[in-house]
A and B are shown apart, each in its own frame.
Chain A
Amino acid sequence: MSATEPATMIASTYREAAREGLRHALEQDPRVFLMGEDVGHYGGCYAVSKGLLDKFGPERIRDTPLSESGFMGAGVGAALGGMRPIVEIMTVNFSLLALDQIVNNAATIRHMSGGQFRVPVVVRMATGGGLQLAAQHSHSLEGWYAHIPGIRVVAPATLEDVRGMLWTALEYPDPVLIFEHAPLYNMKGELAEDAGPIDIDRAAVRRPGADVSLITYGGSLWKTLDAATQLAMEGIDVEVIDLRTLRPLDDETIFASVSKTHRAVIVDEGWRTGSLSAEISARITENVFYDLDAPVERVCTAEVPIPYPKHLEVAALPQPAQIIEAVKRTLGQND
């Protein structure tokens, strides 16, 4: 097949694409292994690692006890010891039990040791609401991690990204946290048969537009694109930026877009207060303030623990209707 020929596309879900990324990494590098709760015999809490135990065996698809801090720290130690561990924490909510190892060890050891040691550990976890899992399984805390120097935080929203970011993260010599948005696991799409590693440096413009910049990531990307489609029918042409990497932020792509459209709406499933959306808003006003024609708008999760009933969960999370309203406010089109 020549380079110019279009790739053969195959049907895939986000889950299958994530699994394909794992399979590829395990085949490519004998130092790679997956470790976490129920990754092996159960097949993965969200069935991402289903079938990998049979293929790679229990040493490399390693079930752990319910010891988030213990196995997270073991991942840091194994990385120091020459392996390339992938630690799976079932959800970001459980990762709070492993914060000591992530924040006090993984993020600090390179700098604190004067650059003598590197910690090439990759941590995967599910994040996000929308599955009626209530207040201990639905929160989006990736913005907290994006606060921490010493770690890289990525959030794949597309099949290509969830397939390709893992290998790039494994090649990276420092800790990388990958946040997979749980409601996306069943998302269907098409993935190139030869899809492979993909950069974890830059934001992506998912929809070019002239009127307003919509800045988002993860599960909110699809709600934002939905809002963009509806706005287009009303003649409003928005640009949608998928951040992809939450730390370090790709300021260049954000500022270029805002300088062009002169308006920005940030859509973040985290809470508003002290959030990633606040950080992005601050950077826009610090750097491209004089390009703005309207105040920066934010659409975030309501400041409540996310409730169980569907109607309240929907009300708590960012939705296309709120995004559309925010866009119109920046254009002075609201009442």
Chain B
Amino acid sequence: MNGLDLDRDHGRHLLRQMMRIRRFEEKCAELYSATKIRGFLHLYIGEEANAVGVMEALRPEDAVVATYREHGHALARGISMDAVMAEMYGKQEGSSRGRGGSMHIFDAKTRFYGGNAIVSGGLPLAVGLALADKMQGKSRVTACFFGEGAAAEGEFHESLNLAALWNLPVLFLCENNLYAMGTALKISESETDIHAKAASYNMQSEAVDGMDVVAVETAARQAADAIRQGEGPRFLELRTYRFRAHSMFDAQLYRDKAEVEAWKEKGPVVTFTARLKDLGFLDDDALADMEREIDGEVETAVEFAEAGTWEPEADLLRDVGGERGVS
């Protein structure tokens, strides 16, 4: 168990969190087809173990910076499913008043700083949040999620260098799902071992099985503890896979169905369900109860979003910043 004490309650909690994300997103895909949700919709299905495992290692005072594929991170961080679903609808009861949509979930209460839809654009923000903590003597961790595609961007390298140079409390979390949209890692990087790039900036870095929620939680706890001890940034490369298309407009011409099917067999929900059953922590009745409860939570969230209201057009210019005489 690599130092993680997996008991029945914790095991069920981890499974429940992953299943909440899975069911939420399956419903989102339906709602997208029903045109309730518009814009881009990037599903996290297949990658749930990463957000769930990492969030277990964070404390309420820590910060999270995520990407446009962040529904799972938002739910696992503790933002209510109602607020996230209302945001998907664009309703003002959403986590960002509906202004951000799927790609821009923000939440001050849980220190969730987006929802950044520029690949690698969140990394410098995370460096700055951690710099502020360090300068203010606060022992907090900033967890920064991004995909392996970010490793090709300059901001990735600038940020890793700054964080290591200034010994900042950042937990870098590269969710390597092997494809940047439709471009495979092997045709876009001279060095496909992403965690080796981080190591070159003098920070501890390791690759983790991102399909195993316990492995992710264990690695994240160790890294977060070290960061809290003042040991500087850490980097985890979470090796994972996206089961669905990049977004809702993707014919998936760039990968074989057989490859997808092979990864699905390693899926985080199916394998962890089996594991809990093997350990005697879960039986079919308990699983059915859990599924029923989650379905109820999703239905309630849909009702909440449906009942939500549109921000009045009169408020369009509210909170732009830079206005005259407003502070």
Contact = CB atoms under 8 A, between A and B. Distances in A.
A207 B40 CA distance: 53
Nearest to A59: B135
Contacts, number: 167
Majority secondary structure of chain B interface residues (helix, strand, loop or mixed): mixed
B291 to A, nearest CB: 32
24 contacts: A65-B161, A65-B165, A70-B124, A73-B155, A73-B159, A74-B128, A74-B162, A77-B124, A77-B126, A77-B128, A77-B129, A78-B131, A80-B129, A100-B121, A105-B118, A109-B113, A112-B106, A113-B96, A114-B95, A115-B97, A173-B327, A174-B322, A175-B321, A176-B322
Contacts of B100: 112-114
A41 to B, nearest CB: 15
B132 A78 contact: yes
Nearest to B94: A114
B44 to A, nearest CB: 20
Nearest to A98: B124
Contact of A73 (B114, B121, B320): B121
**Chain A interface residue bracket vs B:** 35 or more
Contacts of A78: 128-129, 131-132, 135
Interface in A146-173: 149-152, 171-173
B98 A114 contact: yes
A-B complex: 5 closest residue pairs judged by Cβ atoms: A77-B128, A73-B124, A81-B132, A70-B158, A114-B97
Interface in A76-90: 76-83, 85
Nearest to A118: B321
A51 to B, nearest CB: 22
B154 interface: yes
Contacts of A80: 113, 125, 128-129, 132
B266 interface: no
Contacts of A119: 321
Given A70-B162, A81-B131, A110 B320 contact: yes
Nearest to A151: B322
A108 to B, nearest CB: 9
Interface hub of A67, A76, A83 (most chain B Cβ within 10 A): A67
Given A65-B165, A81-B132, A82-B136, A114 B322 contact: no
B48 interface: no
Contact of B161 (A70, A81, A117, A118): A70
A277 to B, nearest CB: 20
Contacts of A107: 321-322
Contact of B132 (A77, A100, A201): A77
B116 interface: yes
Given A83-B136, A85-B128, A152-B322, 18 more contacts: A64-B162, A65-B165, A70-B158, A77-B124, A78-B131, A80-B129, A83-B131, A105-B118, A109-B113, A111-B319, A112-B114, A112-B115, A113-B108, A114-B97, A115-B319, A116-B108, A119-B321, A152-B321
A72 interface: yes
Contact of A81 (B92, B98, B124, B133): B133
A75 B128 contact: yes
Contacts of A105: 116, 118, 121, 125
A109 B95 CA distance: 13
B132 to A, nearest CB: 3
